[in-house]
Amino acid sequence: MDSNKVLFISDVHLGLKNPLGEKERERKLVNFLRSNLESGDRLFIVGDLFDFWFEYRTVIPKDFILILSCLKELVDNGIRIDYIAGNHDFWVGGFFQKELGLHFHSSHLKETIGEKSFYIIHGDGLKKSDAGYRVLKRVFRNRLNVFIYRWLHPDIGIPFAKWCSGSSRKHTQKRDYGGQEEYIEFAEKLFADGVDHVIMAHTHKPLEHITESGKSLINLGDWIEHFTYARFSDNKLSFETYSE
């Protein structure tokens, strides 16, 4: 197994479908992580691990303990995990950082890994037509609004938020992201500023765009239908599909 490698995944959306199917997807993800990561490696979760996540001060959603314990196990084994917030991660609190040991980023992340410069972002709100969503995003992430929402009992607040998440997803699924030209244009500007690789997600459509100079944009796709991910090792970035 390669050493000191970096893996990128996104858009798992656990909790999306029927309970039995979700447990199978969770098991598949855990098997992938445990079989591909070892001490010294890194993992980037580029948003939307869960279809819904909301933390009260002393309560978290009870589903998918297997993946949560797996992430904790990976961190304890010397694997750094960075989580970049997606459009279903508005209400992530301190649990991921304090209890699991993950490094949480509410926006994009720019970092040099090996000899390459990476720009990592979920990608929601990047399109020109996303102006309305960008306003809604500020409302959802407003600390006062989150504080007020926590006054709802979890048995009311969590199911209602799941319903809202599902409604948002149905609206998003109706949208046509086209050929992702705007995302490529966004990446090209970053390439001109010296970035080597742009990693994004959100559209659930796998994409690998490589320039003549070897710089690349990867849209990670999803772990609902495609089970695609990116791997960086020996200063080389590859785009792969997981099959058990």
Is residue 170 within 8 A of residue 204, CB to CB? The reply is no
Q: How far apart are the two ends of the chain, measured CA to CA in Å?
A: 16
Mean pLDDT on 67-86: 96
What are the extents of the domains in the chain? 6-241
Q: Which residue has the higher pLDDT, 3 or 32?
A: 32
Query: Which class in CATH covers the domain with range 6-241?
Result: alpha beta
Q: What share of the chain is helix, strand, coil (3-state, %, to 5)?
A: 35, 20, 40
Residue 164: pLDDT band by 50, 70, 90 thresholds?
Answer: low
Maximum Cα–Cα distance for the chain, whole Å? 55
Pinpoint the alpha helices (H) of the chain: 19-36, 65-76, 131-141, 143-149, 154-173, 181-192
What letters, b where the CB count within 10 A reaches 16 and e where it falls short, cover 122-146? bbbbbbeebeebeeeeeeeeeeeee
pLDDT digits (tens, 9 = 90+) for 54-73: 777 777 777 889 999 999 99
Q: Is 234 exposed, middle or buried (0-12, 13-18, 19+ CB in 10 A)?
A: exposed
The model's pTM is 0.85
CB atoms within 10 A of CB 194: 9
pLDDT cut 90: percent of the chain above it: 58
pLDDT digits (tens, 9 = 90+) for 179-197: 588 999 999 999 999 999 9
Residue 144: pLDDT band by 50, 70, 90 thresholds?
Answer: confident
Q: Which position has the token pair 């559209």?
A: 203
Mean pLDDT on 122-144: 65
Cα(36)–Cα(32) distance, rounded to whole angstroms? 6
